[in-house]
Amino acid sequence: MEKIIIANLKMNLSLDEIKNYINVVKDIDPKRFIVCPTNIYIPYFNNELYGVGLQNISEYNNGAYTGEVSAEQAKSMNIPYTIIGHSERRNIFNETNEIIANKIAVATKNNIKVIFCIGEKIEERESLKTKEVLVEQLKALQSRENDDIIIAYEPVWAIGTSLIPSNEDIDDAIKTIKEESLKYGLKDVKVLYGGSVNLKNIKLLNETLSDGFLIGGCSLDPENMLKIVEITE
């Protein structure tokens, strides 16, 4: 089965760098490669040729919410995907599981496919609470209005740190996620791994049960994405 690669560019790259990015990744199948640039750059990606996603979406419908982007607006621009629940949103912008559930509801209602991020913090892992945390975070699936959801398992301590879990730990988390999702009626959900994926560890990580990878730092160079798409074919 072909693996999905998602580039989360976060708040990086200038317009010139984005134009170069678009050119370098132009031949990658948009079903296999999804790029989530900073919002203002989205119109530069032709979303019939590229898999494009937002990095975040508002939990609110259109209205007086300065600085927010609604699912209705994303739908009006045919943006196919949005990330929801990234650990930087949870930890820097204080998004709770409840807010994330609201976002999943409004995105799926507007037929935006959701890339739902979950994962434990280091202290939760050390106190052997990884499974408990994942089970709790997955409750947000109950608010969805369709099954267009990809889940990304991203241990918070592995994001941007060069640390990665063992393949065995990744597989355990993926099994838990698939079992729990099934309890909420979500069948055959794709579960990706994210956290310090790079050119050095991709071959090893490719041996896990993951259905693909969500990549931050390493995705800023589009040439890396060409290589990773090829390696994970």
Binding site for ligand PGA (CB under 6 A): 8, 154, 159-160, 194-197, 214-218
N-terminal to C-terminal alpha carbon distance within the chain: 8
Would you say 61 or 166 has its CB closer to ligand PGA?
A: 166
| From 86, 95, 120, 180, the catalytic residue | 86
| From 88, 124, 154, 180, the catalytic residue | 154
Would you say 53 or 80 has its CB closer to ligand PGA?
A: 53
Would you say 159 or 174 has its CB closer to ligand PGA?
A: 159
> DSSP string covering 168-200, please?
HHHHHHHHHHHHHHHHTT--S-EEEEESS--TT
Q: Which residue is nearest to ligand PGA (CB)?
A: 216
Long-range Cβ pairs for the range 18-22 (8 Å, 24+): 18/44, 19/44, 20/222, 21/222, 22/50
110, 84 Cβ separation under 8 angstroms: no
Give the single-character DSSP code of 215.
E
CB of 173 to ligand PGA, least distance (A): 15
CB of 219 to ligand PGA, least distance (A): 7
Q: How far apart are CA 37 and CA 16, in angstroms?
A: 13
CB of 72 to ligand PGA, least distance (A): 26
Catalytic annotation present for 86? yes
Catalytic annotation present for 17? no
Question: Which active-site residues does the annotation give?
Answer: 86, 154
